[in-house]
Structure 1
Amino acid sequence: MIMPSGQQLLLPANPVFIWTSLIIALLLDMLPLGRVPWMPDFLALVLVFWNVHQPQRVGIGLAFMFGLGMDVHQSALLGQHALAYTALSFFATMIHRRLLWFTVPSQALQVLPMFAVAHGVEIIIRMSSGGIFPGWTLLLAPLAESLLWPVVSVMLLAPQRRAPNPDENRPL
């Protein structure tokens, strides 16, 4: 694949770093902050990021397993987060080649509908099983996740941007 002009060549992603970032995102989602509908889903954000940048290592099956873990943690209907994360992972894998050609702010605009669909799937499943509507502040969660996309991109790509053997004469 030909790289877009102006992009830096990245080092390979370390699998330990990928797993660490996923576990930290899971722990952030498990913080006991109460159930606030506008809170961004950090695990969904990191799953989409790694689905876009490393689709061979982070796939739909891993998203399903993390979704089941979130369902158990939140005492939600079993499969609610699993279905949302699986759909999110599928769509991220489907558009990952096209998405990487855009700048990071443009990527944030393009992942916004995916996050909105994932939250919509969760709400439809929750309400069809007799749950209550959490309120219109739920619409802020996909927007917050989309606004966090550039921050997450910079943080998770930082280890890949460093030189393997840095010295003062190497421009990379």
Structure 2
Amino acid sequence: MIMRPGQEQLLLPVRPLFIWGSLFVALLLNMLPLGRLPWMPDLLAVVLVFWGVHQPARIGLGAAFVFGLAMDVHESSLLGQHALSYATLSFFAIIIHRRLLWYRLSAQALQLVPLFALSRLIELGVRLIGGGIFPGWITLLGAAIEAMLWPVVTWLLLIPQRRPPEQDENRPL
């Protein structure tokens, strides 16, 4: 395929070890003891959506559910609160992955705001049903911050796929 100037570079295949490593790093970053501020971005949710959009056959609902259970245990919240939220988020990311990749990163981020807000509302609803306190609507600010992180996370996680392929003097591409 001949690419025009300004067109995106063809990406090399991603290694499964890199996918799982990035998810575990995001889980560890979520587990940092930074306090329980309701507007803090959920990096694991952003990385789960990224891999759900870019590699839907490798990272699906099961992985999102297991990582959600790990976050539930870490935060001592109701078991299944984050699991339900992450599974729903991953489901909708997989549904829109073909359409989403046609847009620029800024437009992708705008389209992901409702997904991240839905994820926050699910967590909030489960927390309130379980007898928790209402932290305020500032929790939805976290969804906007997660959407603003989308271009940064996309750029970081696509770096290994953009490495130059082995050059062959017999093949011009």
TM-score in terms of structure 2 length: 0.92
Q: Structure 1's 166 and 27: CA in aligned 2 closer, same or farther, altered over 3 A?
A: farther
Give unpaired runs (5+ residues) of structure 2: none
Please tell me the residue identity of whatever aligns with 2:145: A
Q: What are the equivalent positions in structure 2 for 1:1-172 lying under 5 Å apart?
A: 6-165=7-166
SS at match of 1:133: coil
Please give the alpha-carbon distance, in whole angstroms, between the structure 2 residues aligned to 1:154 and 1:171: 27
Please give the alpha-carbon distance, in whole angstroms, between the structure 2 residues aligned to 1:142 and 1:166: 42
Please give the alpha-carbon distance, in whole angstroms, between the structure 1 residues aligned to 2:17 and 2:129: 39
Deviation at 1:8, TM superposition (A): 1.8
Deviation at 1:166, TM superposition (A): 5.6
Give me the identity figure in percent.
63
Please tell me the residue identity of whatever aligns with 2:108: Q
SS at match of 2:138: helix
Give unpaired runs (5+ residues) of structure 1: none
Deviation at 1:103, TM superposition (A): 0.7
SS at match of 2:57: coil
State the number of aligned residues.
168
Q: Structure 1's 114 and 171: CA in aligned 2 closer, same or farther, altered over 3 A?
A: farther
Cα root mean square deviation, aligned: 2.0
SS at match of 1:132: coil
Q: Structure 1's 171 and 158: CA in aligned 2 closer, same or farther, altered over 3 A?
A: farther
Deviation at 1:90, TM superposition (A): 0.3
Please tell me the residue identity of whatever aligns with 1:92: A
Deviation at 1:163, TM superposition (A): 1.1
Please give the alpha-carbon distance, in whole angstroms, between the structure 1 residues aligned to 2:145 and 2:136: 16
Q: Structure 1's 136 and 13: CA in aligned 2 closer, same or farther, altered over 3 A?
A: same
